Structure 1
Amino acid sequence: MKKEKIIAASNILNRDFYLDYFATSENAPFLIMYYGGSGVDRDKYVERSKTIIPIFDQYFFQLKQELDFSFCYISSPPDINIIKFENSGDEVERWFEHIESEVMPLLPDLPFYFIGYSGGIALATCGIHLSDRCFGGGALGGDQLPDDLETGCFWKEPLALYYNLSDLVYQKNESVINELQADEIVYCYRRLPGTHNIQDYLVNESFSGQIRRAGRLFADSAKKNFTGS
């Protein structure tokens, strides 16, 4: 599997940023954009810039036997306050501009599915999820869920929220989840053991399940929409 650390300068954030990019083949037909959770400080962010994240390797090994896809890991930024997203339009707009004008041009021009882990779901739904290239998305232990979440024009199914049974973030977001479910904006699945730790979502195959869901949605409908076939 191809692995690459992409490092570039951001005029919007006034610093360098990086992406971890993976691809099962040179011609992978769709992209998964994965947004890491909140809480990474600047020192940790800089430390992560020196290596490619290894925690997905064994799961990619299995998934590449089933699907052809590319995957971009966007590490949680140390200088974007996700907690204030709901009450800070300027902060949301700054992040959206960064993703749209500085991140997307570095990636293949493909239809994409997004996954937000923890507070990463707020980063993922800053507006780029409404792109006509986005065919759906999901979350693992989604935190800071926006109560005014909108669906994209090419989404064939609601956002899929996965919460482990012992993930306390679920209770924190339960009222928003219920409202979004009532409006058929999200599906919520809470069936598997584990805590909020990303390793639990990897071990119980929730992470792999999100990627398989992306593959199914792309095969069922998005491929026709995006290729004209």
Structure 2
Amino acid sequence: MTARILPCGARALTVELSDRISEEINAAVIALADDLAGRPIPGVEETVPTYRSLMVLYDPAIVRGKALGAALLERLRGLKADAAGHRRFRVPVVYGGAAGEDLDALAAMKEMAPDELIALHSSAEYRVYMIGFAPGFAYLGGLPERLHTPRLPAPRQRIEAGAVGIGGQQASISSVAGPSGWRFIGQTPVRLFDPVRPQPFLLAAGDRIQFRPVGAEEARDIAAYIASGGTGMEEVAA
């Protein structure tokens, strides 16, 4: 693996590990972020993992960019990455309905019955490659190839929080309401982002999830449980 150090203004560097996307590269990005969290370099203030790179924000009054870049490359040598991921969760989803308005059209496009599409979508295990775009928004790899679908030609102006979407080769869970050009097939009562929780983000890069189809009544029960302080997600032993 040949990494590059790229300056990002006066207070950040990007460690670019590759020009391609893979679980192994993403695992190395996360491993470097975890290593910096466990063994901090003085002056490093924050790290932001992406598909194939890690942004490192720092205080130039404490560490200079050139020295930090050299230290980051040194950290990469011998770093062990776990492509299997960190935690595993089952995420409840009500497929179809107002939030899943693209389900029937997408099933017709793929020449599948809606129930067949739901079964295929919920059978896969997805990897959280990165959190971005909006607070807590999860970009998910692992979407079955048959479900790969281009985004809509024009984005909708409002998609509700918890909407479960498909965009290109990726799946997603919307963390907050907002515009989106993805195609949405369901909604989870799980709140990926809640600023009043001790841990505002439920998912992190490297986690794995599987969707679990539920009915509207069970979803309401889960939503009530979440309102009382639960997460609504079931963690699965690795």
TM-score by length of structure 1 reads 0.27
Query: Whose strand proportion is higher, 1 or 2?
Result: 2
Per chain length, whose mean CA-contact separation is higher, i.e. which structure has more relative contact order (CA < 8 Å, sep 6+)?
A: 2
Larger radius of gyration: 2
TM-score by length of structure 2 reads 0.26
